[in-house]
Structure 1
Amino acid sequence: MFLGTYTPKLDDKGRLTLPAKFRDELRGGCMITKGQDHCLYVFTRDAFTEMARKIAAAPLTNESARVFQRNLFSGTDEQNPDGQGRIAITSELRRYAGLTKDCVVIGAFTRAEIWDAQAWQEYQDQHEDEFAKAQEEVLPGLF
C-alpha cells in the first residue's frame, strides 16, 4: 500500500530515490509508466501484470482500447531499485511528466505517482476545492 507525500530530487543521471516507506514493496522490481494528468505511475510488477492482463483483454476492434494499450505499454519501463532505492527514469518518461530536479512522489494506495513539483502544486491548487465534492460523489454517506 502506497501512502504519503515525499519530495525527492532527480539527479543529473535521471535517477530518483524512492521513499524509504515504498522500498520494501518495490524491492522485487517496479513498472514505471505514463499516468493520467502527466504524472508517472509506479506499480509493483504483480499489480502491473494484473492490470495489464485486463487491458490486453480489450477487443482489438475497439480503437480507444488500441490507443490506450499502445500508449501504456510502449511507455512502460521495468526498473529494479538499486541498493540506495534509486530508479532510473527514461528520458521519454521524464519528458512526458515534465520532470525537473524537484519532484514529488505521492502514494495513491495501489501505486505511487511521480510528479514534477511545480506541476503537483498546480494540480493541488486547481483541484483542492473539488476534494470535498468528490468525497460526496465517490463515497456517498461514508462520512
Structure 2
Amino acid sequence: MFLGTYTPKLDDKGRLTLPAKFRDELRGGLMITKGQDHCLYVFTREAFAEMAAKVSSAPLTSESARVFQRNLFSGTDDQNPDSQGRIAINAELRRYAGLSKDCVVIGAFTRAEIWDAQAWQQYQEQHEDEYAKAQEEVLPGLI
C-alpha cells in the first residue's frame, strides 16, 4: 500500500531515490509507466502483471483498447532499485512527465506516482474543489 507525499530530487543521471516507506514493497522490482495526467505510475511487478492481464484481454477490434495497450506497454520500463533505493527514469518517461530536478512522489494506494513538483502543485490547485465534490460520489454516506 502506497500512502503519503515525498519530495525527492532527480539527479543529473535521471535517477530518483524512492521514499524509504516504499522501498520494502518495491524491493523485488517495479514497473514504471506513463500514467494519466502526465505523471508516471510505479507498480510492483505483481500489481502490474494483474493490470496487464486485464488490459491485454480487451478485444483487438476496439481502437481505444489498442491505443491504450500500445501507450501503456511501449512506455513501461522494468526496474530494480539499487542499494540506495534509486531508480533510473529513462529519457522518454522523463519527457512525458515533464520531470525537472524537483519531483513529488505520492502514494496512490495501489501505486506510487511520480510528478514534476510544479505540475503536481498545479494539479492540486485545479482539482481541489473536485475533491470535495467527488467524496459524495465515491463515499456516499460514509463521511
* TM-score when normalising by structure 1: 0.99
Whole-angstrom distance in 2 between the partners of 1:104 and 1:55: 27
Gaps of 5+ in 1: none
Cross-structure match for 2:94: 94
Counterparts of 1:111 and 1:26, CA distance in 2: 10
1:75 alignment partner in structure 2: 75
List structure 1 runs of 4+ shifted beyond 6 angstroms: none
Aligned to 1:22: 22
Q: How does 1:46-61 map to 2 (within 5 A)?
A: 46-61=46-61
CA shift at 1:26, angstroms? 0.1
Deviations 1:31-84 (A, max 9, x none): 000000000000000000000000000000000000000000000000000000
Q: In 2, Cα distance between the equivalents of 1:136 and 1:91?
A: 40
Q: Figure out how many residues of one structure are paired with residues of the other and give that number.
A: 143
**How far is the alpha carbon of 1:29 from its aligned partner?**
0.3
Q: How does 1:113-128 map to 2 (within 5 A)?
A: 113-128=113-128
Q: Distance in 1 between matches of 2:135 and 2:6?
A: 24
Partner Cα distance (1:133, 1:6) in 2: 26
1:21 counterpart letter in structure 2 = K
Give the AA of the match of 1:96.
Y
**RMSD (CA atoms):** 0.3
- Cα deviation, residue 131, structure 1: 1.0
**Partner of 2:65: helix, strand, or coil?**
helix
For 2:133 and 2:37, the matched residues in 1 are separated by: 19
Aligned to 1:135: 135
Paired residue type of 1:42: V
Could you say which residue in structure 2 is the equivalent of 1:6? Answer: 6
Which moved further from structure 2: 42-51 or 132-141? 132-141
1:137 & 1:117 partners in 2: Cα distance? 28
Q: SS in structure 2 opposite 1:121?
A: helix
Percent identity at matched positions? 88
